Amino acid sequence: MEEKLISQKKPFFPIIPRLNQYLQQYNRWVFTPIFYDDLLRFSGSIVVYDENDNDTLWIRVYYTDSEREDIDYNLKKVYTLLHSDGNESSLPYLNVDAIDYCTFGNSKPFRIKIRNILNDNFTYFYVKRTDASRVYGLEFEHMLSPYNLNFLVNNSTLIEEHIAGIPGDVFINDFLADCTPSQQAQIAKEYVKFNERCMIRLLGDMRAYNYVVIPTHDFDQVVYKIRAIDFDQQSYEGKLKVYRPQFFIENFPLIKVVKEKLTLDSINQYKIEERSIVAKRIISSGVRLESLVEIMRSDGLTRTDFLKNLAAEIYKFTKDEAFMEVQNMGDIMSASLAYVRRHYENLNMTKLIRSS
């Protein structure tokens, strides 16, 4: 029987004033012309099925004629704010093709499909309720992962750009078995790195449908990358396993590939590589990352029992005394990032001594 890793539905946390100031400083804060609650006023819906007639857990929503015109205009305005400077000159060339609402999960987002009528290119963005946990998660991903993230937020509404890729569960079910042995070995390497990165920056609940696999053609091979797409469970749960994707049953097929294709020495090598890369990002992020962690120290992002249990489990894992002195999730993040940076600097010092 699978151990229950996620305890319960996570509450939404508001944006505290210090985080508000930070978001304004780094151009994340915006006064949107439409809010999440506005989109809830739909008058009807139909189920969205995939190409195999399976329920996608999304519904396509419709609005009365009197509301649809304003909603379309304002969603196109949001699109220009997210991807440009908010200039309205492009609005006549944009069309809102679909507004979908997800009935599954914690955030219940709206997915907006925007099409350029001049060339039929289209893209998506998401409208969600504001949640400080998710905002911290997005910012940490922006600074500590290989990927930049584009999002806008205010006190009630969070706008996120779409992250393209094959959903992890779809990739596991439909594509993994058809990959060549060398491709599976490359996927295994990427999964080890992804697993390590999530643990370091305490991004939880990376079940298969919360990340995407991105195949890219590079000369005579296909290179695979793995990227998180859901940041709801940033630094909330009290079990370290929640922040290690390898322990979710949905990911076991990938873990099987890791065990088959990689030796223990290779796994350890890739873990060290990822820690070193994250350490470099910690150093290069400088004041911005330090400011965010400091703000996080004054934010109530979890329960006391979760905090104590997580600190104890990380201490058991690292033997770093700093985790036994934490008072909040910001302290845990600070200790985690300091631990990674310290080991990276010690490793470099050891190499320097050996080479001298």
Q: pLDDT of 295-349, one tens digit each?
A: 999 998 999 999 999 999 999 999 999 999 999 999 999 999 999 999 898 876 5
Mean pLDDT of 157-161: 97
Specify the DSSP class assigned to residue 219: T
Q: How does the average pLDDT of the chain come out, rounded?
A: 93
> Counting every residue, how long is the chain?
356
Q: Which long-range contacts (CB under 8 A, 24 or more apart) does 256-261 make?
A: 257/176, 257/184, 257/187, 257/188, 257/191, 258/188, 258/191, 258/192, 260/184, 260/188, 261/181, 261/184, 261/185, 261/188
Which structure tokens are listed for 317?
């894992």
Between CA 266 and CA 251 the distance in angstroms is 20
Mean pLDDT of 250-265: 97
Write the single-letter amino acid at 106.
N
Cβ(211)–Cβ(231) below 8 Å: no
Which structure tokens are listed for 249?
């049953």
> CA neighbours within 13 Å on the CB side: how many for 245?
31
Burial 44-53, CB ≥16 within 10 A → b, else e: eeeebeeeee
Between CA 234 and CA 206 the distance in angstroms is 11
Instruction: Tell which residue, 316, 341, 311, has the closest CA to residue 326.
Output: 311
Confidence grade of residue 354 (pLDDT, cut at 50, 70, 90): low
Q: Give rounded-to-5 percent helix, strand, coil for the chain.
A: 50, 20, 30
Write down the domain spans for the chain. 17-161, 166-355
Mean pLDDT of 199-222: 94
CA angle in degrees (0–180, nearest 5) for 177-181-184: 65
What is the per-residue pLDDT for 349?
A: 54
Between CA 148 and CA 54 the distance in angstroms is 32
Confidence grade of residue 1 (pLDDT, cut at 50, 70, 90): very low
Cβ(137)–Cβ(205) below 8 Å: no
Q: How much of the chain exceeds pLDDT 70, in percent?
A: 96
Q: β-strands 94-102, 211-218: how paired?
A: unpaired
Confidence grade of residue 3 (pLDDT, cut at 50, 70, 90): low
Q: β-strands 157-161, 122-129: how paired?
A: antiparallel
> Which residue bears the tokens 């079940």?
207
Between CA 225 and CA 214 the distance in angstroms is 5
Cβ(210)–Cβ(108) below 8 Å: no
CA angle in degrees (0–180, nearest 5) for 268-319-354: 55
Q: How much of the chain exceeds pLDDT 90, in percent?
A: 86
> CA neighbours within 13 Å on the CB side: how many for 83?
18
Residue 73 above 60 pLDDT?
A: yes
Which structure tokens are listed for 256?
């099987």
Mean pLDDT of 79-100: 92
What is the per-residue pLDDT for 129?
A: 96
